[in-house]
Amino acid sequence: MRDCIFCKIIEGFVPCMKIYEDEHTYSFMDIAKDVDGHILVVPKIHKKNILDCDEETLINLMRTVKRISNHLVDNCGYDGVNILNASDESAGQSVPHFHIHIIPRRKNDGIDAWPKFEGAKEEITEIWEKIKL
């Protein structure tokens, strides 16, 4: 996609600190400087988010997420990872190219990567009736 920053990174028009690349995926350091080791993993084909992502692309992306996550724990001294995604602007997606954030974690690192929720507003059984498959 012509105006997509992630597509420009994948095509080599915008520099990045590449972590890993294969036939289907590309991963690089997030430049936000919000937490040490913040990595983004994206499909090479442009998909806006998980809602329009085909199964094969999703499988390839998650395979890369697992590979990088295992590398961080097995070889880089981390204890675990947070895997984060926002799909659609309503969920906080800021770049309209599907991406997964990997946040490497160490015990007692002080990072709180879980969102703060204000509490449910509807009865759980009513929501369950609406959303069950």
Hey, which residues are catalytic here?
99
| 3-state DSSP assignment of residue 103 | strand
Burial class (CB in 10 A: 0-12, 13-18, 19+), 117: exposed
Q: Which residue has the tokens 């959303």?
A: 131
CA angle 84, 30, 25 (to 5 degrees): 70
